[in-house]
């Protein structure tokens, strides 16, 4: 699995610590981590939590990433921004039990974490425990076990509803504020990671046009 980490500007200083905790847990599982930044509060290219959502949607819809780890001060803004878009199902995760139940019940492809609120002693341990429970085995298996069938049914219903309530990704890319979009894809390592992993030529061509 390709796991992308995205940090916005208010919590960018914690990127290295978050990335380290993520890699420590998931690399032994055979997953790859791609750190899309921000890498520090002083990065030339600044990301807002809204742009986190844009970038997450591009990566998932282009199949350049399979899972997104993002967040902001409370995690709420990043979660809301991600869920605006098609092909993104993002949960707000505070602790390991949240992570486990989101993976097993909701079977999403993105999480938003609070990187300021409640982020004190032991924060890096909490992150590790969250990532362990999030990527523990196959997701979507249900919890508790007597709720497996209705939970899986509801997930399929939600997926179908999102297809109706969301525009397709190319329509969004063409109509969204182009400077906002360009800012979301102008990070230091975006082109290196994205174009090497993108599996959607139409999205890739449009992003090249935006960056030109």
Domain ranges of the chain: 2-211
CB atoms < 10 A from the CB of 126, how many?
A: 18
Kindly give the residue spans of alpha helices, DSSP state H, lying in the chain.
Answer: 15-26, 49-61, 76-83, 96-101, 123-134, 148-165, 169-175, 178-184, 190-197, 201-211
Which of these, 85, 111, 65, 67, lies nearest to 167 by C-alpha position? 85
Q: 109 and 89 in contact (C-beta within 8 Å)?
A: yes
Secondary structure element (H or E) that encloses residue 2, with its range: strand 2-5
How confident is the prediction for the chain on average, in pLDDT? 97
Tokens read off for 188:
């230091």
CATH of domain 2-211: 3.40.1400.10
* Nearest to 6, CA basis, from 169, 210, 190: 190
What is the per-residue pLDDT for 188? 96
**Residues of the chain under the 70 pLDDT cut:** none
pTM of the model: 0.95
Read off the pLDDT of residues 84-119 as tens digits, 9 standing for 90 and up: 999 999 999 999 999 999 999 999 999 999 999 999
The pLDDT assigned to 93 comes to 98
Indicate the SS3 state at residue 4. Answer: strand
Contact 198, 63 (CB under 8 A): yes
């Amino acid at each position: 699995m390709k796991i992308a980490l995205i940090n916005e500007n208010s919590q960018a200083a914690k990127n290295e610590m978050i990335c380290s905790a993520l890699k420590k847990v998931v690399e032994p599982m055979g997953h790859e981590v791609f750190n899309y930044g921000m890498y520090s509060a002083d990065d030339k290219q600044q990301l807002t939590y809204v742009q986190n959502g844009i970038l997450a949607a591009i990566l998932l819809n282009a199949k350049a990433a399979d899972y997104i780890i993002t967040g902001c001060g409370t995690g709420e803004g990043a979660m809301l921004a991600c869920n605006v878009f098609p092909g993104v199902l993002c949960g707000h995760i505070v602790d390991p039990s949240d992570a486990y139940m989101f993976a097993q019940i909701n079977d999403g492809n993105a999480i938003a974490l609070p990187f300021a609120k409640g982020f004190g002693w032991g924060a890096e341990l909490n992150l590790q425990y969250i990532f362990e429970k999030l990527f523990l085995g196959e997701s979507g298996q249900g919890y508790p076990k007597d709720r497996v069938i209705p939970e899986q049914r509801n997930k399929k219903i939600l997926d179908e509803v999102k297809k109706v309530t969301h525009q397709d990704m190319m329509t969004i890319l063409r109509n969204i504020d182009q400077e906002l979009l360009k800012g979301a894809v102008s990070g230091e390592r975006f082109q290196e990671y994205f174009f090497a992993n993108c599996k959607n030529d139409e999205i890739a061509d449009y992003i090249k046009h935006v960056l030109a």
